[in-house]
Structure 1
Amino acid sequence: MEIREAQQLWSALPGWLNTAGYGLPPAPAWDALQAALGDWRTGATFATDWDGATGLARAGFARLLAVPEGDVAVGAQASQLLAPVATAVADGSRVVVPEVEFTSNLFPWLVHGDRLKVVTVPTDRLVETVAAGCDLVAFSLVQSATGEVAPYEQVIAAARGVGATVVVDASQACGWLPFDAELADVVVVSAYKWLMCPRGAAFAYLSPRFRDGVRPIAAGWFAGADLRDSYYGPEMRLAGDARRFDVSPAWFSWIGAAPALAVVEQIGIAAIHDHNVALANRFLAGLDRPAGDSAIVTFDARDAGAALSAAGVRVAQRAGRLRASFHVYNTQADVDRALDVLTG
């Protein structure tokens, strides 16, 4: 599906430049969600009819990342999916995290500060710090506060050189930035941003080489090998693959997630990447700044926040700067609307 054709699937008001805050649903996702809410309101169906959406979403996410479906767990948020991973890290381990890291990929390690040595470093020192020795490195593929794209393969090479585990938060990347997920041990994604799913849908890629040593501490019926045989009683009957890390799904989040992921797949992440980065670079050029490699741009213009809002431009404020983020439903007109305020 071409970008111009795909844009007809959204009802975005002009000036929405905050996908890094939350993504907007394409029509198939919105329509599916409204239909399910109608059924819920009237009791027109059974809950089991909603469970299938989670499997469709899992399969769609696996295809987007080009990983086996059996290596994907579903959850509600990034930190929840990271909790069993952090619990499995051996006492005394050295964990390296960027100091600007969003806390969903920082607090899960810091809560174990009594037994783990968590070291935070500037992003430009991440590779050298990992190469100097650590047991685990956890980092965002794209930083929420700055839009900085991590040197993914360099960090992984450094980690492999010292035998360290690699944990990646791709919440601000997955949906616009192509990457090889199987190079990492764990990749978590909150899907309500660039994948444009309802909040409450999140995924984890858990490599087989790593997950066998992790205890599924949140296991419940949805982690069972046979869901319909997992309601009551012993013995424990967990799934043999990454599904044993699933938590019971918030139905409506997944009903919206499956068609949203299908739209991303139809367009293609490579095409979305080129579109998004081109818009971001148009914005940077308008600010007399060099081109970058990210769909997220931050800039010092806090005094312009009110003027941007008055012009219908919605951006975020993060770490003392304004943040604009560009996605598939944005156009050059959105960029120029913002620039008219900032440079007019």
Structure 2
Amino acid sequence: MLSEWDPQPGWLNTASYGLPPRRAFEALQAMLADWRTGRTSWEGWDTATQRSREAFGRLIKVDHVDVCVGAQVSQVLAPVAAGLAGRRFLVPAEEFTSNLFPWLVAGDVRTAPAAELADHVDSTVDVVAFSVVQSADGAVADYPAIVAAARAHGALVVVDATQACGWLPFDGSLADVVAAGAYKWLMAPRGSAFAYLAPGVRERFVPYAAGWYAGEDVHGSYYGEPMRLADSARRFDISPSWPVYAGTAPALEVIEEIGVAEINAHNVRLANRFRDGLGLPPGDSAITVVDVPGADERLRRAGIRAAVRAGRVRASFHIYTTDADVDAALEALTDG
């Protein structure tokens, strides 16, 4: 299956963007070739959107009829924020802002350390919003404990799974809302995103961005009244970018073929190989951060592409990462 990728050695930055499987890249190129020459109508391209929706639903263990498609996390969360305006939100202090700014716009936000989030849920909290995996340092949330604390106090649970979906198995149905951008661990082109909107809560949300693609019959929703939106989560769809979803569907299907559990084992093993080489204890994440003097420059000189987040080098490992990639990064960081 590794023949699906052609990475230049040294890519340790999937937490910024993932590398497409060959079949995803080729599907995108084929769509662009059709567009360039006007070879076909658009309806065939759009089948990839539904394939993507269904694959995402399977990956997080929810029914695809409860999944809407969009472009970015903050965009798919916008109707959620609008529907929960005036509520009281609890969010990790270090949360990525796509899952923070919507709540700051909508209501009263209180923050707590991500590792202590469950302990800060009480009767003053209406909504708990958090990332399953933190972008800054790769910390994996105690998802069941946070959900249990929220349920004990009647709070809703909104999850950003962007840094988790594709390598970390989890049950999306435990939450009320699960949003995810697909261009990182799901290895899709940038510009596709999904949100699971649980049936019991989505009537609180208003599809302000509704257009023809949110119609029950999209082809019968081009013109005029009356309102005829889908009964499912599709009423929150925005019209998809055809090239983006052409590459998204096969990328998600490759993840399904390999299996998230197998990807998890591969990624965490490599992350722990990296940590062990730096004298750090093992962890449970595909993302790790290091404080090594001059680490950013050392890696750059060695041709290792990683990221700097919150002042530390962040390395991230995915299915196309190899032992040789890890060893090259360790050599760069420990030499001299």
Q: Percent same amino acid at aligned positions?
A: 59
Deviates more, 1:310-319 or 1:122-131: 122-131
Question: In 1, Cα distance between the equivalents of 2:180 and 2:232?
Answer: 19
Q: Structure 1: which 5+ residue stretches go unaligned?
A: 1-5
Shift of 1:219: 0.6
Kindly tell me: are residues 133 and 302 of structure 1, through their superposed partners in 2, closer, same or farther at Cα, counting changes over 3 Å?
Answer: farther
Partner of residue 321, structure 2: 330
3-state SS of 2:163 partner: coil
Partner of residue 47, structure 1: 42
Partner of residue 158, structure 2: 167
User: Does 1:99 pair with 2:60?
Assistant: no
Partner of residue 82, structure 2: 87
Asked whether the 8 Å contact 2:290–2:312 carries over to 1, the reply is yes
Question: In 2, Cα distance between the equivalents of 1:22 and 1:294?
Answer: 17
Partner of residue 35, structure 1: 30
Structure 1 length as normaliser, TM-score? 0.96
CA RMSD of aligned residues (A): 0.9
- Deviation per CA, 1:247-301, whole angstroms, max 9, x where unpaired? 0001101000000011000000000000000000000000101000000000113
Question: In 1, Cα distance between the equivalents of 2:237 and 2:292?
Answer: 42
Partner of residue 60, structure 1: 55
Question: In 2, Cα distance between the equivalents of 1:133 and 1:291?
Answer: 36
Shift of 1:132: 5.4
3-state SS of 1:111 partner: helix
- Deviation per CA, 1:159-209, whole angstroms, max 9, x where unpaired? 000000000000000000000110000000000000000000000011101
Partner of residue 280, structure 1: 271
Q: Structure 2: which 5+ residue stretches go unaligned?
A: none
Shift of 1:94: 1.3
1:208-247 maps to which residues of 2 (within 5 A)? 208-247=199-238
Structure 2 length as normaliser, TM-score? 0.98
Number of residue-to-residue matches in the alignment = 335
User: Does 1:141 pair with 2:132?
Assistant: yes
Shift of 1:121: 1.4
Partner of residue 75, structure 1: 70
Question: In 2, Cα distance between the equivalents of 1:132 and 1:66?
Answer: 29
Question: In 2, Cα distance between the equivalents of 1:135 and 1:90?
Answer: 11
Partner of residue 183, structure 2: 192
3-state SS of 2:41 partner: coil
Question: In 2, Cα distance between the equivalents of 1:233 and 1:138?
Answer: 38
4+ aligned runs moved over 6 Å, structure 1:
none
3-state SS of 2:111 partner: strand
Shift of 1:133: 3.6
